[in-house]
Amino acid sequence: MESASIASVGYDGMTGTLEVEFRNGGVYQYIDVPKRLYWRLMSADSLGAFLNLEIKDRHETRKVR
């Protein structure tokens, strides 16, 4: 996984929580993300673009750091 804006991605399939660490140090959790959407994110040509279009503003977000 390589991305200009995203450092790492984690996913908890039991809770549907997607956690994204950005290269600027911010960490966010996106709630109730279906597993199929996580797999689409991980196979996207651009993680940042996919996150912006398909996940942000469509799922509850928690700032972790």
Report the Cα–Cα distance between both ends of the chain, in Å, rounded. 22
pTM over the 0.75 mark: yes
Contact 3, 46 (CB under 8 A): yes
What confidence tier does 14 reach under pLDDT thresholds 50, 70, 90? Answer: very high
According to the model, what pLDDT value does residue 60 have? 97
Whether 48 is covered by a domain: the verdict is yes
Whether 38 maps to a domain, the answer reads: yes
Neighbours of 47 (CB within 10 A): 19
Does the residue 36 lie in any domain?
yes
Evaluate whether residue 1 is within a structural domain.
Answer: no
